[in-house]
Amino acid sequence: MGSFLPNALALVIGYLLGSIPFGLLLTRGAGTSDLRSIGSGNIGATNVLRTGRKDLAAATLILDALKGTAAVLVGGMLSPEGAMIAGFAAFVGHIAPVWLKFKGGKGVATFLGCLFGLHWPTGLAFCAVWLSVAAISRYSSLSALVASAASPVLLFALGHGGEALVVAAMAAMLWRKHSENIARLRAGTESRIGQKA
């Protein structure tokens, strides 16, 4: 019972932080089109970029990552397991925010932010894998899929079993959110980085 309340608080705080739709708030504040009515319709940085505002896309990417890191850090102050609980909840909050009828982003930036909070070397490894795959394939989605799959493997190899399990669950959900991208990759119709839609 001693850890129940701190862990429950970590869960709630993590979810609420993760559910802040920065992409939607930034584009709405800038007076652009409703983010949900253009491109893929999701609230992440990739779709913000489709508004033509690179500055807003960059800000969305950074803020979506930072909310994952913040959740992990706050959760870690509450209980030994709080960091993992809050990080997982933040990721869920991003991909399924209650404010938007559970229709959120694909979670790549928040996934990365959680990684940096849980184990920063794995966060750096994610970036390295993403950049390497992107340089070879020119597919942003494939880069995210490979990097997310590699992250729990690396955590497990480094002796962080608990974090590996949590990150593996997050990676599975990230893959599920990318199901349409995976279908396009298999069909050879996925857009490459820099390619006009």
45 — pLDDT class (breaks 50, 70, 90): confident
Q: What DSSP state is assigned to residue 36?
A: G
- In a 13 Å sphere around the CA of 174, the CA atoms on its Cβ side amount to 28
Cα–Cα distances (Å) from 114 to 28, 36, 69, in that order, read 26, 25, 5
How many angstroms separate the CA atoms of 153 and 98, rounded? 31
Tell if the pTM clears 0.85, that is, is over it.
yes
How many angstroms separate the CA atoms of 70 and 86, rounded? 9
Say which residue the tokens 């705080």 belong to. Answer: 13
pLDDT digits (tens, 9 = 90+) for 96-150: 999 888 989 999 999 999 999 999 999 999 999 999 999 999 998 999 999 999 9
